[in-house]
Amino acid sequence: MQKKFFIPKIILIASLTGGLFFAPVGSAGLLDKKVELSTLPPKVQETIKLNAQGGTIESIEQEKEKREVTIYEVEVKKPDGTEIEFKVDEKGSLIELEKN
């Protein structure tokens, strides 16, 4: 008699907790947050300003990669309308540049 309820219970538990196991972490997920330029370490600010190339900083997201290293993902709209994205590590080093 208990076998009848066992499988539905497993299905119910799996459906209720499934989102916790498959939630993206770090990719616009649980460890990302928007930050302001003025709150960042000076070397990070300097690298962001240098690589913004006179454009408007649209957003800065702070990410934790592998829960150890802080990365700042920056989106910039340049005066000519083109957009660039780049990543800066917590020490102020440019680690990725993407032009759209």
Number of domains comprising the chain: 1
pLDDT at 39 over 80: yes
Domain of residue 55: give its range: 24-99
Q: Is residue 93 part of a domain?
A: yes
Q: Is residue 68 part of a domain?
A: yes
Confidence class for position 67, pLDDT limits 50, 70, 90: confident
Q: Is residue 17 part of a domain?
A: no
**Residue 48 confidence (pLDDT):** 98
- Written as six digits, the tokens of 14 are 């799996």
Q: Is residue 15 part of a domain?
A: no
Q: Is residue 14 part of a domain?
A: no
Q: Is residue 38 part of a domain?
A: yes
CATH code, domain with 53: 3.10.450.360
Give the pLDDT mean for 56-70. Answer: 89
What digits encode the pLDDT tens for the residues 4-31?
555 556 555 655 555 444 444 444 445 6
Q: Is residue 18 part of a domain?
A: no
Q: Is residue 81 part of a domain?
A: yes
